Structure 1
Amino acid sequence: MKYLLTDNYAPIKVLLAEDDEDDQFFFSDALAELPFPTELTIASNGKDAVEKLTQAESKPDIIFLDLNMPKMNGKDCLKFIRMDKTFCSIPCIILSTSSAHTEIEETYHAGANLYILKPNEGSNLLKMVNKALKLDWKENFTPKKELYFLSERTLQRA
């Protein structure tokens, strides 16, 4: 049985935890260009993301977490999500400018489902977000290590 977010007729509910306003805009712009409907909720840090999760009437279908944010970083937010039975089954994607092996390994072992190295080009962000939203999350919830890291370079090889 497949679990594709794009198979639903309802908009895909996306939570983005990102402190940089420019990155929020680029992400929102990428979602607007997708050929399927989405609803975006933006949190400006991990603490705000946790508050939005716990206070929302419905939970998001997918969460994108910036790694480096004030108040609560992406790793701590991810740990909260994975420890809470209400949210632990939601796919969590890490967004970062860091390609440090330690960051990638730590987030993989903490339960993130995909690590996206923030691209330099908006068109590549669109492709990366599109790819994340079209993954079969039943099959890819526990990611294969070789498919966990997505960058502009790996995107071109795919």
Structure 2
Amino acid sequence: MLSSVLLVDDDRTANFLHKLLVNNMGIAGQVLVAEDGQQALATLAGASVPPALILLDLNMPVLNGLDFLTRYAQLPPATPRPVVAFLSSSDHALDQARAQHLPVDAYLTKPLTREKLQGVLQQYFPQ
């Protein structure tokens, strides 16, 4: 079981559904939620233990996913470093190419499904 998962999405319905999915799968002790990149940075700064997995929306107001990652990369590295997965409604090759230059481990398209989340877990958290 993962220590925690951080969901970052400005869509409250998406956060609700993603939290429900994570809880129903029983994969994390805690599910943290932020509605933009700025809230996510504050959540990370206040966390005694970093989340094992960050599911990060690409397009958000205040601080979008790309800008969050730029600022996140400037922070002192967490040990262990969380797995970061972009979760976006965009499947454009340009967005995926930009993500390759940032500390992103996976690029998932919405909607998040049990199968997509299971794929990330199998790849980055083998048992």
TM-score between the two structures when normalised by the length of structure 1: 0.71
Match for residue 3 of structure 2?
A: 12
* Displacement of 1:35: 4.5
Match for residue 135 of structure 1?
A: 123
Match for residue 114 of structure 2?
A: 126
* Displacement of 1:26: 1.2
Determine what percentage of the aligned residue pairs are the same residue. Answer: 25
**Ranges in structure 2 where 5+ consecutive residues have no aligned partner:** none
Match for residue 78 of structure 1?
A: 69
* Displacement of 1:73: 0.2
Instruction: Return the index of the structure with the highest Cα Rg.
Output: 1
The 4+ residue runs of structure 1 with deviation greater than 3 A are 35-38
Give 1:55's match in structure 2, choosing from 25, 34, 46: 46
* Displacement of 1:137: 5.6
> What is the RMSD of the two structures over their aligned residues, measured on CA atoms?
2.0
What CA distance in whole angstroms lies between the structure 2 residues aligned with 1:36 and 1:95? 18
Match for residue 27 of structure 1?
A: 18
8 A Cα contact 1:31 1:38, kept in partner: no
What CA distance in whole angstroms lies between the structure 1 residues aligned with 2:35 and 2:123? 26
What CA distance in whole angstroms lies between the structure 1 residues aligned with 2:13 and 2:44? 23
8 A Cα contact 2:4 2:52, kept in partner: yes
* Displacement of 1:66: 0.3
* Displacement of 1:38: 3.5
Match for residue 3 of structure 1?
A: none
Call closer, same or farther: CA 1:125–1:38 in 2, change over 3 Å: farther
As a proportion of its length, which structure holds more strand? 2
TM-score between the two structures when normalised by the length of structure 2: 0.87
Call closer, same or farther: CA 1:21–1:92 in 2, change over 3 Å: same
8 A Cα contact 2:87 2:108, kept in partner: yes
